[in-house]
Amino acid sequence: MNKSIINKIQNTAKANQKQLAVLIDPDKSSDEYIQSICKNAKLAQVSFFLVGGSLLTDGNMDDTISQLKQKTDIPIIIFPGSSSQISKHADGILFLSLLSSRNPEMLIGQQVVAAPFLKKTNLEIISTAYLLIDSGEQTTASYISNSQPIPANKAEIAACTALAGEYMGMQVLYLDGGSGAKNPVSAEMISKVKEYTKNPLLIGGGINTLEKAKTAWNAGADVIVVGNAFEQDDSFCLALGELLSEINQ
């Protein structure tokens, strides 16, 4: 199987270089937004796009990914809310297991349903330990996944869960406060998790200022994922790109 995306994420993290990813929600992706975010993402040296959402209403994965493909050569990775969010037009998929939950459907059920569909595609499969972290109020992700997020002040639970994911052979770790999170994952939790695991660490949810991005990168995030803040002001992507190149110097 093609491993170019995971190799790049791992090698960049090993070289201690920070990365930025853009989350595209198919429900909120007008032609105009896709056009401008693709342009800004290139300038900001975005490493990859994630496409998906906990709950899709009007959006369509195939259409959104095809639109992105026409406008960018940055890798496009599916970030699925369920087994129905698969598109052969993407480059890869975060094959998530929601390790913070105790809901068998999100731990293994959806994955079994998705597996035969994925076998028929050329998508790069990236095995991902996915942890929802409490961000101050209930998010769509925790409601729809019927799961309790890890309490924000229990860094050791996140760290032990992350380590368990690594021992299970997962390739990356994603700590997510959920889309539009009131509070992002704390620096304390990020650094504790980083002490425990070697896997590249993605942090997302509620990162909407340069300060929050810097805090997450400095605490040990290898990749920060931003969605909502770019939808509100896509020039924030350019500002984050500048911060990223300063940090990576």
By residue count, the chain amounts to 249
CA 100 from chain centre, in angstroms, equals 15
Q: x/- binding map, residues 117-156, to ligand 1GP, per CB under 6 A?
A: ----------------------------------------
The H or E element containing residue 230 is helix 228-232
Nearest alpha carbon to residue 64 among 38, 82, 42: 38
Give me the least distance between CB of 236 and ligand 1GP, in Å please.
10
Would you tell me how many other CB atoms lie within 10 Å of the CB of residue 126? 21
| Binding flag, residue 23, ligand 1GP (CB under 6 A) | yes
State which residue, 57 or 249, has the beta carbon closest to ligand 1GP. 57
Question: Applying CB under 6 A, does 26 fall inside the site for ligand 1GP?
Answer: no
Give the bridge partners for 49, in sequence order.
Answer: 22, 76
Binding test (CB under 6 A) with ligand 1GP, winner from 176, 200, 201, 217: 176
In angstroms, give the least distance from the CB of 24 to ligand 1GP: 10
- Closest to 240 (Cα-Cα) out of 136, 64, 230, 99: 230
Selected from 22, 38, 226, 237, the binder of ligand 1GP by CB under 6 A is 226
Stretch near ligand 1GP under the rule CB under 6 A, chosen from 88-96, 151-159, 192-200, 202-210: 202-210
By the 10 Å C-beta count (0-12 exposed, 13-18 middle, 19+ buried), 135 is classed as buried
Residues of this chain that bind ligand 1GP (CB under 6 A): 23, 176, 178-181, 204-207, 225-229
